[in-house]
Structure 1
Amino acid sequence: MTPEQRLVEVLGEPPAPEGTWEREAAYLSAAARRLGVPAHGLAARVRAVEGVAAVEERPNGFLRIVVEVPGRLVETVGPLSLPDPWPDFPRTWDNPGFAVRYAHARAVAVRRRARDLGVPEEGFRPELLRDPRDRAVLRVLAELPGRLAKGERAERAWSAYAVRLATAYHDAYELAPALPVGDEEPSPLHTARVRLARAVEDVLPGPDRL
């Protein structure tokens, strides 16, 4: 069980990611206020969760929770069916649908090429996903549990979410390569980034309309 899953058990709801996650992966929770319980008591239970690095009690009753290894959250991501309301054309960056479908296609290609290049599928080390570009993708993925728990149905909200995830993944794809380059040997970092690509592939609408 990941720290995020354990936090849901303790808090009764998914905490909301806060900030950019470039320096640390933080969540905010209003669970103490919602449950009508003292924040310090709930904070003590949260501190006992394995993988939680720090808990801050805010004056407003909110808890700010920092997790040690945010990369573990990709273990909880499964296939989704997000809306794809955009037109097929133009197939340029001006069309958000193109950007979203292309990000999905890139994630699929990463996984396929990883097999060809001998990048191991086993041995996922989530702590290696600490580059700011990897963290940016994780930050967007971290919103999923809360959105799903609320039963969010608005197409516009999910579409905006898909665009944000796609944008973050394009940056990661180009600036934090998931595949070995040139004579570079496959490494645990490549395995971790391929696993991140799988999470993106699971969430974004497919490229069948590219």
Structure 2
Amino acid sequence: MGAGALARATGGREDASLAALYLVALALGVALVSWRGGAVELTTLLFGSVLGVDDAALLLMAGTATLTLAALALAWRPLVLECFDPGFAQAVGARGAWWHMAFLALVVLNLIAAFQALGTLMAVGLMMLPAIAARHWARQVGGMTYAAVGIAALSAYAGLLLSFHADVPSGPAVVLAAGTAWGLSVLCGPVDGLLARWWRRPHLAG
């Protein structure tokens, strides 16, 4: 939410503000844990642990997912309008800024819910990589959303299997699976994928 407020107040890029605030908050958190806790606690905080996911954590994840789905169903149209044409959204009184800030609050809530399984460093990866990969599978916002959800679910499943069988932290395993999906999407995706571009060029030349 601070990133959104700073971007609107200064005219800067929101992703830059988000990266700055996230890194500062993460560094502060690591410093506090190092000061008050041990190495095991710090490792779990950064990279997550499936063994650390208890009933309370599962209930938090389920509640967060339920709230997020309900909120997105309500805010879908104004959010899309705010992303693609904020000037028009403001002209028609869609209150896109309020919906945008509420969306950022949901992002933070999902990060908090995911940190026990994925860790603070890796949770952002599961949010970003499927979304980046999805743009290579669809051109419409709805199609990208479905693709991102599918890639994220498959990455989580594959990463947890890798974590169990290879005895590696769950967070990096899930993000590695998501990174593999992103790499395959860049290579094989029908929308601006490398193979699709390579195939079109000889075809057009002929």
Q: Same fold (TM over 0.5)?
A: no
Q: TM-score, normalised by structure 2?
A: 0.28
Q: TM-score, normalised by structure 1?
A: 0.28
Indicate the structure with greater strand content: 1
